[in-house]
Amino acid sequence: MLDQPFTIIEGGITAPEGFAGAAVCCGIKPESLDLMLLASDRPAAAAVTITKNAFRAAPTFVTQEHTADGQAQVIVCNSGNANAATGRQGLDNARKMAALAAEQLGVECPDVIVCSTGKIGQQLPMDKIQGGITQAAIRLTRDDPDSLARAIMTTDTFPKMVSVQFAVGEKLVKMSGIAKGAGMICPDMATMLCFITTDLAIAPEILNASLQQDVELSFNCISTDGCMSTNDTVAVLANGAAGSAPIESSESEGYKEFRAALGYVTQELARMIARDGEGATKFVEIRVSGATSWEQARHVARAIANYDLVKTSLFGEDLNWGRIAAATGAADPELDPNRVTINCAGITAWSHGEPASFDEAQARSAMQADEILIEVDLGIGDAQATVWTCDLTYDYIKENVGPDG
């Protein structure tokens, strides 16, 4: 951490200057926070990444339209209902959600980002949404950021937030992010909800290019169950309220600091999501090295992360490295096992085309850790990638048999 050009700070999503928010229980979920508003006091540079699922939710279309000009000011988000697979009425409702937020906060409707998360295939209860937006709009504050992180949770067991501060010239700039994940975390694109605020001044196209790159290395590197959601959205608002000189190219003062901060915020939130996978008891980091390309390394790492037999043996605290070998070999039939090295929890299990001998008692003990590192070296190149996941447990099934997900 010593070399990072930023500092981790206290404070949540409203820590950057000019941002305020409010969370309410509008009644979609029985007794929890289920709607939040997050607003900048001025129009902000905006960038988003959105799920590629063909059945993507209505609000993702509205958000895409409203951020096409690289500017936004408000994020409105409900949990408990995904407004996905809801047809024309769903699209009308998403537009109405944006219009209601715009009206209540006195901003332009095309500056509102709309998100929903929760059950697929049900229409939003618009009377409750309307009541919630009205209620939240009059409660905007900088003092209750935790409740915003809580209002977007579904089966998450803890709110996910991180804040940093960095210098652009002589000005201090803050950046803060919240995220929700837990189920439907998958390997094929932006994979959950994440909102990032910063009082940095930055050109929208630089913000957008940076976000796309960092999402590849963070949210697109986590997988809890290999299921791609209909609603995944990552949105960043940069309102310039810190008064720093605008970042207009990769040569601008503060660009490196900004990239380091955005990389840290997105990866840290991604790791929190993997750690909080539905029913998870273990956090698992999979590092694939010695690949011919980053794409190959991530492909193999994801394949291991999605291999149910690997995930159940992690839950069982069993060093079943043969399943890691099987997952690796299944991911890329062209690999040469003689060049592959497999380490799990610090124990070398396979190298030079032979199983390695190791102490069984030591292996059992190593597998009991809460965090497990799986390292696979393909032995054919210099590229590497890291993917984060969790184990597959009884509780994953318990949480997903019912009608609420």
Of 35, 93, 27, 31, the C-alpha closest to 59 is 93
Tell me whether residue 248 or residue 359 sits nearer to its own copies (CB atom): 359
Tell me whether residue 74 or residue 120 sits nearer to its own copies (CB atom): 120
CB of 312 to its own copies, least distance (A): 4
Tell me whether residue 206 or residue 392 sits nearer to its own copies (CB atom): 392
CB of 334 to its own copies, least distance (A): 7
Which chain residues interact with its own copies by CB under 8 A? 52-56, 82, 84-89, 119-122, 183-184, 186, 188, 225-230, 306-309, 312-313, 315-316, 318, 320-323, 325-330, 332-337, 340, 349-350, 353-355, 392-394, 396-398, 400-403, 405
**Token couple for 29:** 């979920």
**Token couple for 148:** 């915003």
CB of 293 to its own copies, least distance (A): 17
Tell me whether residue 40 or residue 230 sits nearer to its own copies (CB atom): 230
CB of 288 to its own copies, least distance (A): 14
Tell me whether residue 53 or residue 197 sits nearer to its own copies (CB atom): 53
b/e sequence 203-235, b meaning 16+ C-beta within 10 Å: bbebbbebbeebbbbbbbbbbbbbbbbbbbbbb
CB of 37 to its own copies, least distance (A): 26
Distance CA 261, CA 90 (A): 36
Tell me whether residue 143 or residue 308 sits nearer to its own copies (CB atom): 308
CB of 325 to its own copies, least distance (A): 4
191 belongs to the catalytic site: yes
Q: Is the dihedral of CA 104, 108, 110, 111 positive or negative?
A: negative
In degrees and rounded to multiples of 5, residue 59 shows phi and psi of -60, -25
List the catalytic residue out of 191, 224, 233, 386: 191
Tell me whether residue 249 or residue 357 sits nearer to its own copies (CB atom): 357
CB of 38 to its own copies, least distance (A): 26
**Token couple for 135:** 């209620």
Catalytic residue numbers, as ranges: 191
